[in-house]
Structure 1
Amino acid sequence: MKKIIGAVLLLLVLSVAGYFYFKQPPQPQYKTQKVERGSIVSTVSATGTLNAVVTVQVGTQVSGTIAKLYVDFNSQVKKGQPIAQIDPALFLSAVQQSRGNALNAEASLAKARVTLADAKRTYNRNKALLVEGIIAQSDLDAAQTAYDAALTGVRGAEAVLLQTRGALRQAETNLNYATIKSPVDGIVVSRNVDVGQTVAASFQTPTLFTIAQDLTKMQIDTSIDESDISRLKVGQKAEFTVDAYPEQTFEGTVVQIRNAPVVTQNVVTYVAVIGVDNRQLLLKPGMTANVAVQTMRKDDLLKVPTAALRFKPKAEKGKEKDKGKGGKGAGMTAAAPKGSVRMQGEGRSAAANGTKQTVYLLKGEGKAVPVAIITGISDGASVEVVSGAVKEGDDVIIEQVSQDKKKSGMGGSPMGPRF
């Protein structure tokens, strides 16, 4: 009988112990990552368009019909090389007419000079005769008037000759403009006319060709947000990719930061020009480039993943949630600390430059221990640890892994699912 009672008591004790053991909440499990040393490169991301450094739009200064085309798309041209010809018939006629007018003006000038010489001789002769008393004073006055008129006639003929020569030069210039020449050495990237097309230069010079001076040197015009423009400096290195070569990374340098603001839908941006070496001619004008400008680089520093700054144990999250209910600012997102910087990646990182943060280290028997640190620069994936009680090799928590007590296949009917 005593054995039976002892067995019952033992069974009761084991049942109670088992109940409380299995009733305890499971120990939380965490996903960790090692604190390590390495390099961090802080960047500013932007998009832009590739362009030739010098692009010249070639037009025409005279109107007419395109008679000949000497170049086409992708043609290499030299400075002064003819690239198109406007029908010169009308311009040749204008030159001949102006040349005839100029010859006529030269003849009129010669005739006026002869008249002046005759009037001068008559005046001098009458002046001598007046002294001898042979002619009257009125005859000398008439000779004086004829001489002055002849002198004025010469000056007028000279003015007419000058005008006709100017008209001749203008006609010859228009004839020269009928042959359109390349103003620079380069490559034709655009042709907007065909033979037989009429171009009119009356009000606005039409663009016939677009010539890129040198495609071995290109530039990217990027739009930088006003919150990031202060971090950019001339001479900083940049890396970019284009959709045509998604697996290849190209390099460039910041060569200019323009002060003129660009406002689009109340968003202020500034243009930063990235110089690019395109000796292999892989890049083409108009390509969209995804640029990352290196604003700062630090080597051999202690760094933690940015996910560790966002982590908080679920218990603390619950307390913060309860504290926010009914209080001031409930339901609102906490404001970012003053002086925080924008990180790359999705959204804004929790890391802030020179800001006090809290990370949790996995210590002892799987306990999450909070540690205060001061953060530095970040590249989106990792953040610099300026100071704090962390060292290389520590396990920093980046995520809490939830455990489901219900195992697969348990909790259902032993006979299988009910139909």
Structure 2
Amino acid sequence: MLQQTLTPTIRCLAVLLSVLLLSACQQDSASPPASVLASHVRATGELTAANSFKASPPSVSNMWQYNIKQLAPESSMLTESALVVAFDGQRLVDELNSKSIELKSAEQELANRLRSDEQTFEELKLTLAERKMEYDREQRKAEIVDQSRSANDRRKAQIDFTIADNQYQLAQARLASHQQQRLAEEQMLVAKVSRLQSEVGLLQRNIASMQVKAPFAGVMVYSMGFNGEKFSAGDSAQFGQPVAEVSQLDSLYIKAEIDEIDLKRLQAGLAVEITLDAYPERRFNGVLQSLGNAVRDKSNDNLRRVVDASVSLNDLDTELMRPGMTARLNISLTPVQGARNAN
């Protein structure tokens, strides 16, 4: 009786054990090996130009706020020396007009002074020559020894010579004094003209600097202001604040952010599959070029720890790619043969 009772129980246990073994086999066959799960690392990044020019207000004395008068169209291709941004320089133009008038007045004053001094110099030279002639004549009279002349005549000749000598010395002193005064006034006026010329030249350079031009060909990208919005014509910017950027498209690379937990599995030279969020249907290839050494928070709001990295692009498409485009990266843990490591 006991044997008949145990037999169905044993059969049930055997069936249950078979089901458990079959389920375990199915789970093993459905789960990939651990090596397959760890074959890729995912990350995010952004297209960045290695060679770019940031356009910002120039350094102008007594100016801190600059009004944007004109901006080149965003995403437009600029040639070398093309206008990037023009700031309002009307105040400088008004100051230049005033200084130019002042300069012309100073130059005219200098020219008049030189002409007047030259005329006075010639008159004093003529007077000196006349006094020299009188001096020589009276000297000869005073030196004549003639016993037939009366004592009064001899005293008169001596007095006339003394007067002529004094007049001659006075003419010499006047000419010398005029020359000294002439030189001092000329130096003062020349210094004034030179100062005004320097101020006018500085204003002209400052006005020219209000038009910022591209140092090389590239694509135009607007920068964000403190309010988080892109700059536009009519906005104000502070000195040194970038309002736009010109980027060379052939220098594009991806500035990536790698999670700290994935850092130990990565090295320079790994292949990267790149998907741009703007073109999710396209795939691009690249190589992990370098990994940063400093670990930081992803952002002020996101405290996830990340490391900066750079990814080069094997198939750069300058028709589609633009700086600032976000990308999703799939980094293969298999090194690329012959890949170079960036410093």
- Rounded Cα–Cα distance in structure 2 between residues aligned with 1:282 and 1:217: 14
Match of 2:203 in 1: 171
SS of the residue aligned with 1:193? coil
The structure with more strand, counted as a fraction of residues: 1
| Residue 42 (structure 2) pairs with residue 45 (structure 1) | yes
Q: CA deviation at 1:99?
A: 2.7
- Judge conservation of contact 2:127–2:171 (CA < 8 Å) in 1: no
Question: How far off is 1:274 after superposition?
Answer: 1.7
Alignment of structure 1 residues 298-377 onto 2, 5 Å: none
1:235, distance to aligned residue in structure 2 (A): 4.3
Q: Determine the structure 2 residue equivalent to 1:159.
A: 191
Q: Please give the residue correspondences for 1:1-150 in structure 2 after superposition, counting only pairs within 5 Å.
A: 15=4, 18-19=7-8, 21-22=10-11, 24-25=13-14, 26-27=17-18, 28-29=20-21, 30-31=24-25, 32-33=28-29, 42-61=39-58, 69=70, 71-82=72-83, 92-114=93-115, 134-135=165-166, 140-141=172-173, 143-150=175-182
Looking at structure 2, the residues matched to 144 and 137 of structure 1 have their Cα atoms a distance apart, in angstroms, of: 11
Distance in structure 1 (CA, Å) of the matches to 2:329 and 2:190? 67
Gaps of 5+ in 2: 140-161, 223-229, 338-343
Structure 1 residue 41: Cα displacement: 8.0
TM-score w.r.t. the length of structure 1 is 0.51
For residues 210 and 111 of structure 2, the distance between their equivalents in structure 1, rounded to whole angstroms, comes to 34
The structure with the greater share of residues assigned to helix is 2
Cα shift at 1:89: 6.0
CA distance in 2, matches of 1:40, 1:13: 53
Specify whether residues 293 and 126 from structure 1 end up closer, same or farther in structure 2 by C-alpha distance, changes over 3 A only.
farther
Counterparts of 1:138 and 1:253 in 2: how far apart (Å)? Answer: 94
Any unmatched runs of 5+ in structure 1?
A: 1-11, 300-419
Mapped partners of 2:6, 2:39: distance in 1? 56
Normalising by the residue count of structure 2, what TM-score does the alignment of the two structures yield? Answer: 0.60
Aligned mates of 1:137, 1:148 — CA distance in 2: 17
Relative distance call for 1:85 and 1:39 in structure 2 (3 A) is closer
Equivalent residues of 2:55, 2:84 under 8 A apart: no
The answer on 1:192 being equivalent to 2:226 is no
1:166-225 CA-partner distances (Å, limit 9, x unpaired): 22223323443454544442233337324xx3x556x535655x3442345532222234
Distance (Å, rounded) in 1 between the aligned partners of 2:124 and 2:275? 91
Larger mean CA deviation between 256-265 and 219-228 belongs to: 256-265
Could you give the per-residue CA deviations for residues 325-370 of structure 1, whole angstroms, max 9, x where no partner exists?
Answer: xxxxxxxxxxxxxxxxxxxxxxxxxxxxxxxxxxxxxxxxxxxxxx
Question: In the alignment, is residue 289 of structure 1 matched against residue 338 of structure 2?
Answer: no
Q: CA–CA distance in 2 between the matches of 1:87 and 1:243?
A: 38
Matched, 1:224 2:258: yes
Aligned in 2, Cα 1:40/1:87: closer, same or farther, shift over 3 Å?
closer
The percent identity for this pair of structures is 19
Provide the aligned length of Structure 1 versus Structure 2. 281
Is 1:45–1:293's contact at 8 Å kept on the other side of the alignment? Answer: yes
Structure of greater relative contact order (alpha carbons < 8 Å, 6+ residues apart) = 2
Amino acid across the alignment from 1:173:
R
CA change 1:239–1:121 in 2 (3 A) is: farther
Mark the CA change 1:123 to 1:272 in structure 2 (over 3 Å): closer, same or farther. Answer: farther
- Between the aligned partners of 2:185 and 2:264, the Cα distance in structure 1 is 73
Q: Aligned in 2, Cα 1:142/1:286: closer, same or farther, shift over 3 Å?
A: same
CA distance in 2 between counterparts of 1:152 and 1:230 reads 79
2:285 to 219, 228, 251: 251
Question: Which residue is 1:368 aligned to?
Answer: none
Residues 107/231 of structure 1: CA separation in 2 closer, same or farther (3 Å cut): farther
Report SS of the residue matched to 2:219.
strand
> Aligned equivalents of 1:120 and 1:256: distance in 2?
82
CA RMSD of the aligned region, Å?
Answer: 4.7
Q: Secondary structure, in 3 states, of the residue corresponding to 1:72?
A: coil
Aligned partners of 1:297 and 1:82: how far apart in 2? Answer: 45
Task: Report the AA paired with residue 232 of structure 2.
Answer: V
Change over 3 Å in CA distance of 1:20–1:168 after alignment to 2? closer
Q: C-alpha separation between the residues in 2 aligned to 1:13 and 1:262?
A: 72
How far apart are 1:272 and its partner, in Å?
Answer: 0.9
Instruction: Measure the CA separation in 2 of the matches of 1:152 and 1:260.
Output: 66
* CA–CA separation in structure 2 for the residues paired with 1:271 and 1:65: 36
Q: For residues 380-391 of structure 1, what are the structure 2 equivalents within 5 Å?
A: none
Q: Out of 17-26 and 234-243, give the one that drifted further.
A: 17-26
Give the Cα–Cα distance (whole angstroms) in 2 for the partners of residues 186 and 173 of structure 1.
25
> What is the letter of the counterpart of residue 239 of structure 2?
Q
Partners of 2:327 and 2:55 lie apart in 1 by 27
